[in-house]
Amino acid sequence: MKKTLLYSLAVLASVTLASCNGDYDDWANPQANEQEASAAKYGITFAAGPEAESSMPDADGVINLVTVNTTDANVTGYTLKSLKVNGEAINGEIDGNNIQVNAAELEKILCNQNNSRASVARDMKVESKVSVNLASGDAVAINSVGETTGKLTPTATPQLDEKGYYMLGHLNGKAEWDNTDPIWMDKIAEGVYQVKVTTEKDENWFKFFAGSNFISGSWDDINKGALGCKENGCKDGSGYIYYNGDSWGELQTMVIPGAGTWIVTLDMNNLRYSFAKPVLYMAGDANGWSHIDYLSSENGVNYTGFMYLNQNGFKFCSQPNWDGTNYGGAYFGQESDNIIMDETEGYYKVDVDLSTKKYTLTPITTIGIIGSAAPNGWDSDKDLTYVPYNKDTKKGGYWEAKDIELKEGECKFRANDAWDMQWGYDGTKFVFSNNAPQKQFVPEAGTYDIKLYAWANGYAKCEFTKK
């Protein structure tokens, strides 16, 4: 009603103005504002610039990305209004009739868009908007977007080291850096290396190194093959690799925050690294054999996750594909290739012990919301409904409540109307434990839809949608 009323008043006002002033059209002539026109009016066309297909490094650091042309003699020049590459804004300027960009900025944008520094030609869709400068001194904004294409090949990455890669730092019980005892990484694919390490400090500094430069005790030789990150002390769980002589900047030292066991991966194909707590992926008939269910671990031996399983088979895998170690029926003493459970189909807490080669399934028949924000307060749960994973739509696999009335306050979730399996929010992330923290999830009362992804630690999440 409010919008309708406002629109009605606006129409009434316009009618009144028009009837009271016969010169209204001239008084409100849009031409008094900044002029706009289509590209066709001034014969404006956009074409790929002379360097729209280029390779890095670029000789002068500038790439002529787009060329603007006109058939109108009254057009004396152009002003760049906006420029986007694959939908992302980039700085640019016009030199004559060429739109130029900084080559290094363009390279980083394309690498970030592809999450890779690999020296592979990257496609570009370029969108340009300009205004034209006329001989009269006027400027006219062209309301058409010029669309062109191009390709840029990023700087060549270092050649793969034939002797592999290793790590040095505050790892595996070492309080100081020991340049005589490298931690060699396992090659898990061409150009990809991985290793499990342990940490004991709040901040555990480390770097990667190329194997060919290792001479025990010689930092001068070892540092020739050093590989680091962008910012000193970076604690991000993943990022780009920087190397000696890198045009992107000087390599710095990474940090693994906190004590624990970690899986560290170095991808020299894409110049990426990552570290994370150990994880297994479940692939089975219930999820379309798609490696989308997780089991997390603090020590790389004991894993816990939550998932829907059936009796048609499944496996636990060290990678989100079939390229790593796959733990099937034979590993757990079964005769079949896949794990075949005796339990009925359903949702389970899954515990895997790789040292004893055993797994345990604890059935979860209900998950409910409880707390001061929940419909029943702390007295009892309000149960959610499980939405199975749909192999065709690739959606589902969560617990759901629709049109639930919540109050302002705290809440958590628990399984089987008991307190031994809980999920809650610790202020930074959603976690599972037998004493899950609770926090004010609901800032205001109202009707909500809830989706609870009751997954392993590091992956669990919950979505509240207010209606």
Whole-number pLDDT of residue 441: 82
- Could you tell me which residues are beta bridge partners of residue 261? 198
Q: What stretch of H or E contains 348?
A: strand 346-353
Question: Looking at the domain assignment, is residue 49 inside a domain?
Answer: yes
Question: Looking at the domain assignment, is residue 10 inside a domain?
Answer: no
What number of other Cβ atoms are within 10 A of residue 51's Cβ? 21
Residue ending a domain, among 118, 153, 188, is 153
Whole-number pLDDT of residue 26: 38
Q: What's the CA angle centered on 328, arms 323 and 334, to 5 degrees?
A: 160
Whole-number pLDDT of residue 177: 97
Alpha carbons 315 and 294: distance in angstroms, whole number: 12
Q: For residue range 304-319, list pLDDT tens digits in order.
A: 999 999 999 999 999 8
Tokens of 105: 């900025």
Please state whether beta strands 358-363 and 314-317 pair in parallel, antiparallel, or not at all (unpaired).
Answer: unpaired
Residue ending a domain, among 341, 363, 385, is 363
DSSP states of 13-51: HHHHHHHH-TTHHHHT-GGGS--EE-GGGGT-EEEE-TT
Whole-number pLDDT of residue 46: 97
Alpha carbons 182 and 215: distance in angstroms, whole number: 10
Whole-number pLDDT of residue 3: 31
DSSP states of 230-274: SSTTB--SEEE-EETT-TT---B-EEEESSEEEEEEEETTTTEEE
CATH code where residue 390 lies: 2.60.40
Judge if 107 and 149 occupy the same domain: yes
Judge if 416 and 457 occupy the same domain: yes
Q: How many CA atoms lie within 13 A of 230 on its CB side?
A: 10
Question: Looking at the domain assignment, is residue 404 inside a domain?
Answer: yes
Whole-number pLDDT of residue 25: 38
In this prediction, the residues of the chain whose per-residue pLDDT falls under 70 are 1-34
Residue ending a domain, among 249, 276, 303, is 276
pTM for the whole thing? 0.74
Question: Looking at the domain assignment, is residue 386 inside a domain?
Answer: yes
Judge if 47 and 139 occupy the same domain: yes
Instruction: Categorise residue 123: left if φ over 0, alpha if ψ from -120 to 50, beta otherwise.
Output: beta
Q: Identify the domain containing residue 129 by its residue range.
A: 39-153
Tokens of 58: 């670029």
Judge if 318 and 416 occupy the same domain: no
Judge if 359 and 369 occupy the same domain: no
Q: What stretch of H or E contains 107?
A: helix 103-114
- How large is the C-alpha radius of gyration of the chain? 30
Tokens of 463: 């979505």
CATH code where residue 257 lies: 2.60.40.3620
Judge if 266 and 298 occupy the same domain: no
Question: Looking at the domain assignment, is residue 6 inside a domain?
Answer: no
Judge if 54 and 136 occupy the same domain: yes
Judge if 270 and 286 occupy the same domain: no
The total of structural domains in the chain comes to: 4
| Sequence-distant contacts of 378-387: CB under 8 A, at least 24 apart | 380/417, 381/414, 381/417, 384/413, 384/450, 384/452, 386/308, 386/347
